Amino acid sequence: MDVLIVGSGLLGRAVAERLDSLGHGVAVVDESPENLSLLPPGFGGVTFAGFPMDLNVLRRAGIDSCDAVAVTTGDDNLNIAVGQIAKRLFKVKWVAARVADPEREDIFDGDVRTVCPTNMACDKLVTDLLSRQENKRVNFGNATVSLELRPVERRYFGQSTNNVDLPDCGIFAVIRADGEFVLKETAGGVALMEGDVMVISRRID
């Protein structure tokens, strides 16, 4: 897969390095040559210095033929604009844009995927805090099961518990925001909503 990354800050460089290590073709655009120089010495992709909204710069970086674009600069307005350009003007199939302001995470109508580090960090911290406080062990016959509470991540709002990927774990139940306790049905699952907390079970013995 050929990927164009717009922005060579910490996030952009991390994404570029990871994709490059996985064997994908990577091009990185940044207005600052200094930011581009911070890519690791073994980076196998190509770099282009120039203003990200300059169509000629984007074309030189291969936006016409790339499979995906990730816009990762520290400027929300710039990320939103470049994301729209990539999707609507160049018809790139997969476009993702970093948005630092949580209130702007849903600014697109689904054609551009937004990633909000603020919300992701918040979800992770809350999950970690609650799981550490609420982790309980219960014996069932000769088995010991760990039960923990885990807030539902935004990406799962409106989806079934059957769509939640939890390696080595299972969803025992869901606690609604109003306190209602809903046992997970094996077949249909439970529809997840904002404010829900999942009761996660894991066999530990």
For 63-97, the pLDDT digits (tens) are 999 999 999 999 989 999 999 999 999 999 999 99
For 146-186, the pLDDT digits (tens) are 888 888 888 888 888 888 888 888 888 888 888 888 887 65
Whether residue 175 sits in one domain with residue 110: no
* pTM for this prediction: 0.62
Q: Which of 115, 146, 180 is the last residue in one of the domains?
A: 115
Whether residue 75 sits in one domain with residue 131: no
Q: Which of 115, 144, 178 is the last residue in one of the domains?
A: 115
For residue 22, give its domain range.
2-115
Whether residue 152 sits in one domain with residue 107: no
Residue with tokens 């200094």: 34
Whether residue 126 sits in one domain with residue 111: no
DSSP string spanning 106-171? T-S-SSSEEE-HHHHHHHHHHHHHHHHHH-EEEEETTEEEEEEEEEPPGGGTTSBGGG---TT-EE
The total number of structural domains that make up the chain: 2
Is the Cβ–Cβ distance between 92 and 86 less than 8 Å? Answer: yes
Residue with tokens 């000629």: 56
Q: Which residues contact 78 (CB under 8 A, 6 or more apart)?
A: 52, 53, 71
